[in-house]
Chain A
Amino acid sequence: MSTPAPPTLTVADYPLSTNRPELLRTPTGKPVTALTMDAVVSGELTAEDLRIAPETLELQAQLADASGRPQLAANFRRAAEMTAIPDAEVLSMYNALRPRASTAAQLTAMADRLESTYSAPVSAALVREAAEVYGRRRLLADDEPEDAATAATSPDAVTPAVAADETTPGSPS
């Protein structure tokens, strides 16, 4: 994208939808003013057009910083990274972070994938921190050497532990 570096906003720019609409674009590159009923009816718009763009989350992060809310800003910056991750994978990553859902190796693989595939270093750091704390608090899935080895190499490694958990109860296996 050839978008210029975002400006530094102040609280007076809020709400962006009324005060700075020119800064707002959809992830598909359309200006927010293109989101009209005509465009909906003609089928020109898809659900993809009604998503937030990472650049917009960065603008909202600036507003959160400017209003003294650093944690909220950090949340928006993780969110900006996560806009690139498909819905289903976001859900499976969330499930993989549940207690005893993943081995240390699986969480490491997930962090690596966040960093390498999605350029999401802030989110990856959160996952690595989780892996460290889960290890100390015994909240990792039991390490089974085979699984761990697969997890470290497979990009799909973020899902299996949870999928197994959810089908196990009551099943005859």
Chain B
Amino acid sequence: MTAVAPRPTEQARRSLRTEALEARPVNLDGFVEEWPEKGLVAMESDFDPQPSVRVADGVITELDGRARADFDFMDSFIADHAIDVATTEASMALPSVQIARMLIDPGVSRAEVIAVTRGLTPAKVLDVVKLMNVVEIMQGMQKMRARRTPANQAHSTSARDNPLQVAVDAAEGALRGFAELETTLGVVRYAPLVAIALQVGGQVGRGGVLTQCALEEATELELGMRGITAYAETISIYGTESVFVDGDDTPWSKTFLASAYASRGIKMRFTSGTGSEVQMGNAEGRSMLYLEIRCILMAKGAGVQGLQNGSISCIGVPGAVPGGIRAVAAENLVASMMDLECASGNDQSFSHSAMRRTARMLPQLLPGTDFVCSGYSAVPNSDNMFAGSNFDTDDYDDWNTIQRDLQVDGGLRHVREPEVLAVRAKAARVLQALFEHLELPRITDEEVEAATYANSSNDYPFRDVLADLTGAQQVMDRGVTGLDLVRGLEATGFHDVAENLLTVLRQRVSGDLLQTAAVLTADFTPLSAINDANDYAGPGTGYRLQGERWEELKKLRHVTSATDPETEVD
């Protein structure tokens, strides 16, 4: 503490170029050196275990160099639930380079790859993806994602937890193409009102959109059981036993929870991501990707249909180390090659640099994933209660243009302003009527008008927060369910919205949305890895952006007419 470096007596002269570079947003980002001993390393660490497996009497007795007696609970769960004991020795005997080549070889089908990957240990999976550069990872993703048709997911939240804002932005988001909408809260007690707003607003924008409210596990399940939300995602899992326990869960509690959701007909996926263990202070000296691969295998063992990964709320950690964003792309690929639905991140705010934010999402957007973002902010980032997203409403036109430039389907489309205003106004009126019907705090005409034209929560009149919180409590006390919402919508004359919501609720009875990577199309057809299985087999196959959808994505806010350069096409 006493040794102070000598300060130069005179500030060294800096070049104007350096000053210009220093002023660039990217230099506000944080970067650190690798520290493998502490797990602060993306995917190349001498401290990760070497792949190995031993089977005796139908039981895995050694996993990645550790004997069964020494298994921690992640090893135990993965050995006993995730890895196919019958094929593991044969799969593990394949050279990693051969498996990596299978992943990118269009002559090898997705099913053939999965026949191998189901027998791999975490260290072997890591050994395989370590061989792949980022383009190969994308090639692998193009073939391995579960659902043929890519989709996208939005966040709809409000800095003031204003249910009206959540409803209208959900409606606009649904209209723009998001297949799933997620909300969360600043003040948790607001949850019932905001979840209702999301559910109803979403169905105004496009029938069949699925909604969720991210809360503590037990509360999230309760809202789902009541039919106020349609699916759940914030079911966090971790790659080390110590961090899993710090999160107050185990693989068995989470597996039980997965079945609990399915027992109510509710779609669910787990959440994990690189960097969470080192951020929570106990990576046990393993690389971020190794630990994430353990999470992915744990999720597979639990029998949950899918996983949200891609670092998610820990993106700053892999984002700060060399090769970190490659590792994030690799973790998405691993989820897909384990035959799970992958909602692939591009979620929490990641960089001050627009260029870096864009580069970060290309490994998901270009090959397509089941949900390219697992939270694109359908509100301005100042209203994003998930601490901001990599993309927000300001980026809508950029996103649409990138889809058009590269002819890729990122799940969104340009919508003309009159249509946007129409659904926003309708969503606001629907929520106004429904709140009145349910004797919840009034939504005024002034608020409806503001909501129609608003950008952020600042553009709305203030609500009486105490009255809202009382109303929210009443929703819970009175046991309001999704069916009550349907009844209220029908009674207040919004038959189409009522019908949309009833159709979504009815899906629970069929269980179709429980299958891997399921979404509902606009005509309420369940689309999953069963009836929309990814059949990519090289050029000219798999999902192609063409036909009607491509015509839709050619439209932007300003496109000059070919026949009359003085005008713009609609």
Name A's B-contacting residues (CB within 8 A): 11, 14-18, 21, 24, 26, 32, 35, 37, 40-41, 45-47, 49-53, 56-57, 59-60, 63-64, 67-69, 71-76, 78-83, 85, 87, 90-91, 93-95, 97-100, 123, 126-127, 129-130, 133-134, 137, 139
- Residues in B whose Cβ lies below 8 Å from that of A35: 502, 506, 509
Whether the Cβ atoms of A97 and B511 lie closer than 8 Å is no
Q: Distance (Å) between the CB of B302 and the closest chain A CB?
A: 7
A139 to B249, CA, bound (A): 10
B156-164, B258-266, B359-367: which lies at the interface: B258-266
Whether the Cβ atoms of A63 and B530 lie closer than 8 Å is yes
- List 9 A-B pairs, minimum CB-CB distance, nearest first: A75-B303, A79-B262, A52-B265, A130-B252, A82-B263, A97-B253, A17-B510, A78-B259, A71-B303
Map CB proximity to A onto B250-285 as digits: 1 under 8 Å, 0 otherwise: 101101111111111100000000000000000000
Interface residue B111 (Cβ < 8 Å from any Cβ of A) = yes
A29 to B164, CA, bound (A): 38
Whether the Cβ atoms of A126 and B218 lie closer than 8 Å is no
Whether the Cβ atoms of A99 and B248 lie closer than 8 Å is yes
- Residues in B whose Cβ lies below 8 Å from that of A91: 218, 221-222, 260
Task: Please provide the chain B residues from 462 to 490 with a CB less than 8 Å away from any CB of chain A in the complex.
Answer: 481-483, 486-487, 490
Q: Distance (Å) between the CB of B113 and the closest chain A CB?
A: 12
Interface residue B438 (Cβ < 8 Å from any Cβ of A) = no
Q: Distance (Å) between the CB of B39 and the closest chain A CB?
A: 20
Report if A14-B531 is in contact (Cβ < 8 Å); known contacts: A60-B514, A71-B300, A71-B303.
Answer: yes
Map CB proximity to A onto B176-203 as digits: 1 under 8 Å, 0 otherwise: 0000000000000000000000000000
Map CB proximity to A onto B212-234 as digits: 1 under 8 Å, 0 otherwise: 00000110011001110000000
A68 to B303, CA, bound (A): 12
Which residue from chain A places its CB closest to the CB of B262 in the assembled complex? Answer: A79
Q: Distance (Å) between the CB of B498 and the closest chain A CB?
A: 7
- Residues in B whose Cβ lies below 8 Å from that of A46: 483
A49 to B263, CA, bound (A): 14
Whether the Cβ atoms of A63 and B498 lie closer than 8 Å is no
Whether the Cβ atoms of B508 and A90 lie closer than 8 Å is no
- Residues in B whose Cβ lies below 8 Å from that of A15: 510, 512, 525-526, 528, 530-531
**Most chain A beta carbons < 10 A, residue from B76, B250, B509:** B509
Whether the Cβ atoms of B264 and A51 lie closer than 8 Å is yes
Q: Distance (Å) between the CB of A132 and the closest chain B CB?
A: 9
Whether the Cβ atoms of A53 and B509 lie closer than 8 Å is yes
Report if A57-B252 is in contact (Cβ < 8 Å); known contacts: A40-B483, A87-B225.
Answer: no
Q: Distance (Å) between the CB of A107 and the closest chain B CB?
A: 10
Which residue from chain A places its CB closest to the CB of B514 in the assembled complex? Answer: A60
Whether the Cβ atoms of A97 and B510 lie closer than 8 Å is no
Q: Distance (Å) between the CB of A86 and the closest chain B CB?
A: 10
Which residue from chain B places its CB closest to the CB of A32 in the assembled complex? Answer: B509
A64 to B300, CA, bound (A): 13
Q: Distance (Å) between the CB of B68 and the closest chain A CB?
A: 11
29 contacts between A and B (CB under 8 A): A11-B530, A14-B528, A14-B530, A15-B526, A15-B530, A35-B502, A37-B490, A37-B495, A37-B502, A40-B502, A41-B490, A51-B264, A56-B510, A57-B511, A71-B300, A72-B304, A75-B255, A75-B258, A75-B304, A87-B264, A91-B222, A98-B250, A99-B244, A99-B248, A99-B249, A99-B250, A127-B256, A130-B250, A133-B77
Q: Distance (Å) between the CB of A51 and the closest chain B CB?
A: 6
- Residues in A whose Cβ lies below 8 Å from that of B373: none
Whether the Cβ atoms of A32 and B252 lie closer than 8 Å is no
Interface residue B72 (Cβ < 8 Å from any Cβ of A) = yes
- Residues in B whose Cβ lies below 8 Å from that of A14: 512, 515, 526, 528, 530-531
